[in-house]
Structures are given as C-alpha cells and as structure tokens.
Structure 1
Amino acid sequence: MEEKVKLIRKRLEEANDRQKSYADVKLLEVVNPVAYRIALPPALAWLHDVFDVSYLKKYVSDFAHMIDWNSLQVQDPGVVMIEPISVLEVRKQRLRNTKVTQCNVQWDQYTKDNATWEDYNEIHQRFPHLFNVFNS
C-alpha cells in the first residue's frame, strides 16, 4: 500500500512539473497542488496573482495577440476602457421563452476573430454610430 502512495505522489509531481512548463510566466510559489502564485508585470500589480492551474495553458506566440498596453485607457485600477469599432452582424437568439437581439461586436485592439456577442439594445444605446451601416 505504501508503495502505491509513493507512486501516486511521484506521478502527481511529474504532472505538476509538466504543467509548470506550459506557462511562460515566472512561478513564484505553489500555493497548493492546483493553485500557483505567478509574477505579474508592475502594470498588473492590482490583479490577484494566484491562479488555478487549469487556467494556465501553453501559449503559441502570435503577433495578432499583441496589445499596446500604453494605448489602453484605464478609468479605475482594474477597469480597462476598450471601445467597440464595428458591429459585424445582428441576430435574434432564443433564450428559453424569449427572443433577444444580439450583435457581434469587434473591439478596439482586437481582431474580428475575437468579436463577442453583446446585447443589441445596450450597444445601440451606448454606441449608436456603429449601426449606421444597418440603418441605411
């Protein structure tokens, strides 16, 4: 029985070491087997620095993912203001017994692949100029 426990511990350590190599971040501390404390850049010092290992994944470098941090508008610490630049599509979506209108929004600093579906009424109220294409 004791040998099985040792074998399980060894395999857990090996798996833990493999997971460490997936993240290109500096690991400061293993808080517990599933939580790591990582080093963050000074600009993100306000962010909680302990992450569940399931959130840390291998990253493949892609220039499309690069964001110019200096151009971001920060309102309060932790609140980044990113403006929508276009509405790509509008759809009606059935959610349970209701139909809601949504729009696919491309955000500043992001590609079309990173567009998100947002509530049509909220986006239309805050950014009516984005809908000129659909109204003409």
Structure 2
Amino acid sequence: MAFQTGKKVLLKVSPMKGVMRFGKKVNLSPRYIGPFEIIDCVGPVAYRFALPHNLSKVHPVFHVSMLKRYHGNENHIIKWDSVLLEKDLRYEEEPIEIIDRDVQKLRTKEIKFVKVKWKHRRVEEAT
C-alpha cells in the first residue's frame, strides 16, 4: 500500500493488553485516530506525519501497516484528543454504564447478560 504526500490517513491504536474487565482479559479490535496529514515518505514503507502538540511524545514516523486510508467516514474513528495515548499508541478501555440486562434460561441454569457502554465508543458499539 502506498500513500501520497499531503493525503490524510488514519493511525491504528489498540487497547492495552492485560487490562482486567469484569474479571476477564479481553482484546478489543484496534481503532483508528486521525485523520493526519502525510508530510513526506521516509522509505518505501514508512511515512512522516504532522502530529498535533498533544501527541508530541509519539514518534512521527509510522510503518505502512499502522495506516489506513481516510475516506471521510467518521463512524470508526476515535477522537485523538479524548484518548490518553501511551508512547506505543495504546489506550485503556473502561466501561461507563450498563445499558441493558437480560437472562437466558436453559433447562438447568440461567445465563445473565449485560450490555455495556464503553468510554471511547458510541452507544451503537456497546457490547
């Protein structure tokens, strides 16, 4: 995948590994922040970005595997100013509230379900 100078792209970030949520370790799918403008091409698979001041602790050169084309659809983008990113582009997901509860009854037992709204996600993305 190749990008042109001046184009905007999204940058992949992922939740911290090993964060305990309700007693279980869970890997959530990576999310993207941005869009950020490409300043120049450093190598065949590396690009330098114009990052805002809030992300000054993050190195501005990224491998092409960390990038995604920006098409103007903001449904899957996390606002970069609302997330506290570590140097390795990880962030911590936290539950905010329980939206819904349900009980599924089997023959001999009951299974309880809860629908949780997460901190940096919309209501539609509750799990």
Calculate the TM-score normalised by the size of structure 2: 0.44
Return the structure number with greater relative CO, CA threshold 8 A, min gap 6: 2
Greater CA radius of gyration, 1 or 2? 1
Calculate the TM-score normalised by the size of structure 1: 0.42
Higher share of residues assigned helix: 1
